[in-house]
Amino acid sequence: MINKDLFPIITASGTPYEIGLIHGREAKKQVEISINTYKAMFWDYSHIRWEDACSYARTFISTINEYDPDYMEEIRGIADGSGYGTDEILALNVRSEIVLQGGQISSNTDGCTTFVFTPMVTETGTTLLGQNWDWKMTEQAGCIIMHIKQQTKPDITMVTEAGIIGKIGYNSAGIGVTLNALASNQKVEGKALPLHIAMRGMLDSQSLSDMIRATTCMNLSCCAHYMIGSSKGEGVSLEVGPGDFDALYAEEGWLAHTNHFITPRLMYVKDTTRISLPDSFLRLGRMRTMVRGLDRKVRVSDIKEMMSDHTSYPDSICRHEDELEPAGKRLGTIFSIIMDLEREEMYFAPGNPCRAEYHLIKF
């Protein structure tokens, strides 16, 4: 059984505010960890005070309300439930923008490996979507598993940092999303949408085309890659750059992605993660090599083995903290997830998949 003290499972339903209230109340300890993690990170690496981060976060309120006013209601609910200010919860939801916009902490991006396998290549005949999520290990204790039952939108199952309303997961419409950080030194001018808010919009979608529209109807305030898939047997790699995007379809039944731009349309972008995370090339190469080396259809056990790969350790697909790096710059795999979109279930490993057991979670 999964250690629910480390990744507590929270079920919330009702209005957006009520969903947020439950989130805040039941994950109060984890919200505190998230706030302390980012309060320290913003100051240690950019000398951004928490008060200034919160002030910057407030500049996104009108854009979020224009995108979907339900999201600010849910954020207010989390604030009231956890006892923190609305602007503090908002700062968590725009933490990527504070970290990445303008290259403020360009060397401090997460280093994740994502994948999608469609029924064309899977032994189960279902779409398997997932990733290793690599980030600051201090934030592992701030993560939760949310199951959200909504009144007018699809139900959502996601793994998120407490306080953040959109992250890695799937919904009852049979679609799911994962995330890779990308970065550029080019700023997005004017109105822009935070990437985690866009992820919630994607999880509130009914189809893959709706998902693409949800994250491209406005400019994103920082770069990102979303691997998305559907129970209809489709997978898409969606790269979003400064003011532009491109999508690759899983024509051969599978796709993998790491932390650098790969679509031809975005080759003009000044890609700063190529410099800050050179292991991105190696992790992508390993995924492609392992998949092409299979002489049968892909099994869940094969994906678990791929996610446990230690080639180029410690900066491998299964990432371990590098003891030679300063403590604040170390990254590790916080969790590994394999989602079956047809069956609406996921295999979840709380930590490095080389040593953490995958647990089947289904609501």
- By CB neighbour count within 10 A (0-12 exposed, 13-18 middle, 19+ buried), where does 263 fall? middle
Under 8 Å between Cβ of 331 and 321: yes
The DSSP code for 268 is T
Closest CA to 141 of 321, 329, 8: 8
Under 8 Å between Cβ of 333 and 134: yes
pLDDT digits 0-9 by tens, 242-271: 889 999 999 999 999 999 999 989 988 889
Cα 36 to chain center, whole Å?
20
Q: Tokens at residue 171, please?
A: 């919904």
Parallel, antiparallel or unpaired: strands 113-117 and 345-349: unpaired
pLDDT digits 0-9 by tens, 303-362: 999 999 999 999 999 999 999 888 778 899 999 999 999 999 999 999 999 999 999 999
Phi then psi dihedrals of residue 55, to 5 deg: -65, -45
Superfamily covering domain 109-360: Penicillin V Acylase; Chain A (3.60.60.10)
* Average pLDDT, integer, range 215-221: 93
- CATH code for 7-98? 1.10.10
For the chain, what are the domain ranges? 7-98, 109-360
* Average pLDDT, integer, range 114-138: 97
* Average pLDDT, integer, range 144-149: 98
